[in-house]
Amino acid sequence: MSPLVSGFSKLSKTDKIKWLATHHFNNDPTATAVLTTYWNSDEKLQRLHDEFTENTISNYYLPFSVAPNFVINGKTYTIPMAIEESSVVAAASKAAKFWQKRGGFTAKVLSTTKVGQVHFLFTGVPDHLLQFFTEIEPVLRASVSHITKNMEKRGGGLKSIELRDKTAQLDSYYQLHCTFETADAMGANFINSTLEQLAKTLVTEAKHYEHFSISDKHIEILMSILSNYVPECLVKATVSCKIDELESTATLSAEAYAKKFIRAIQIANIEPYRAVTHNKGIMNGIDAVVLATGNDFRAVEAGAHAYASRKGTYTSLTHAEIKDDTFTFSIEVPLALGTVGGLTNLHPLVKFALQLLDTPNATKLMEITAVAGLAQNFAAVNSLITTGIQQGHMKMHLMNILNQFEATAHEKAKLIKYFETNTVTHNEVVTQIEKLRTS
Ligand code: MEV
């Protein structure tokens, strides 16, 4: 059991590691050596990473990969992806190549509005509150002008403030429901700072509002925070081709393939157990781009899954149809992304990722990211309805198993060759390694 400690964050990095070694690893130096192995020899770079969060003791690497050949709205992209799952980048690249030969992806941002709320309690007369809000709305707006000024210059700002009466659901509960445009920033700090100021102004104005009775005057602010539910920060990406341009297999004609594909999407639409896995595959692509470009994947995940449930049941984020011999496959997903602020100008790999994408603005990045999700889903469903997922997955996972057994370059080459024509299973890899080593 971990002992309690006070003042841990004040310790130096070395002392934090010593504390861990003493209390968790019986002072075994090999246990903590792994931490220093991952330190960067460039001290400035290491300091930058240390200061991203509190109590940093090392760096946690993820592979930073690229998926080329994505044609999006007629332009070719190589998409950066940060992800550990073996088969994701290969699957994305394969889907990109497939659709590149069929006109590529089209993508369009449908809206970019974000939401934030001041949650408060009010026990007075509801009509008085509404009257008060109507009168002080200009004061509320004026009180945040010092925060919104710069964002307005960039085309964004605080768009609307609405008083919402939620007392039917929760006693005395009201909201200022605010909408925002945040230009190329994800905008969390901008939104939260604006909301906190609105909350302060609301309380101050209530104290001085002459038409309030004593009981009306008390507004209790509960919290002021942006919402990660962004159904109006939405992007759509699509691919389509004539049915006969789809690939047929020995057992499946192009038409049968298209129909099977559509069935798979229909299942994800009506069966939550499948929909969650289906959308997880989509998020494999989306999160990888979100991470590589320094955006907040937890926010994106929360928003995407909430959107998938917006009609009361959890459904697929992608849709497929056949119309007039044309197969169309699309995704509609909320993505609150930024290309300025946050890590974008700090993390060298994030800077690289954005440059690789030709320095996109936030809407372009939304389009690219949605395409990565759609491509990933296409690749997954394609495998599921043809070969099954394990063939490709285990092929990519082979290297992980070989590394686990510390296979030499020679052993790797031999076994990769062997598994070109044999099915990869953990057992079979182990058997083959052992055979190689004893022969
Ligand atoms: C694995 O990470 C993702 C898949 O399960 C997605 C899917 O089933 O559609 C392959």
Ligand 1 atom nearest residue 85's Cα: 2
Instruction: Name the amino acid, one letter, at 209.
Output: Y
How many C-beta neighbours within 10 Å does residue 410 have? 9
Q: Cα of 278 to ligand 1 centre, how many Å? A: 6
DSSP state of 4: P
Tell me if residue 245 is catalytic. no
DSSP string, 55-106: T--S-----EEEEEEEEETTEEEEEEEE---TTHHHHHHHHHHHHHTTT-BE
Nearest CA to ligand 1 atom 3: 281
Q: Given this model, what pLDDT does residue 210 score?
A: 85
Which one of the listed residues 49, 85, 177, 271 is annotated catalytic? 85
Nearest CA to 99 out of 327, 319, 314 is that of 327
The one catalytic residue in 24, 128, 259, 280 is 280
pLDDT value for 395: 80
**SS3 for 136?**
helix
Q: Judge whether 296 counts as a catalytic residue.
A: yes
Query: Distance between CA 9 and CA 18 in Å, rounded?
Result: 13
- Closest ligand 1 atom to Cα of 377: 9
What pLDDT score does 408 carry? 94
Would you write out the chain's pLDDT as a tens digit for each of its 439 residues?
789 999 999 999 999 999 999 999 999 989 899 999 999 999 999 999 999 999 999 999 999 999 999 999 999 999 999 999 989 999 999 999 999 999 999 999 999 999 999 999 999 999 999 999 999 999 999 999 999 999 999 999 999 999 999 999 999 999 999 999 999 999 999 999 999 999 999 999 999 888 887 766 789 999 999 999 999 999 999 999 999 999 888 789 999 999 999 999 999 999 999 999 999 999 999 999 999 999 999 999 999 999 999 999 999 999 999 999 999 999 999 999 999 998 888 999 999 999 999 999 999 999 999 999 999 999 999 999 998 888 777 887 888 899 999 999 999 999 999 998 888 888 999 999 999 999 8
With a 6 Å cutoff on the Cβ, whether 380 touches ligand 1 is yes
Identify whether 85 is a catalytic site residue: yes
CA distance 83 to 287: 8
What atom of ligand 1 comes closest to residue 274's alpha carbon? 8
C-beta of 256 in contact with ligand 1 (< 6 A): no
Does any ligand 1 atom lie closer than 6 A to the CB of residue 389?
A: yes
Crossing angle of helices 362-385 and 389-404, in 10° steps, is 100
Say what the pLDDT of residue 350 is: 97
Q: Tell me which residue has its CA closest to atom 4 in ligand 1.
A: 281
Domains of the chain by start residue, with CATH: 8-50 (no CATH), 64-108+234-386 (3.90.770.10), 114-226 (3.30.70.420), 393-438 (no CATH)
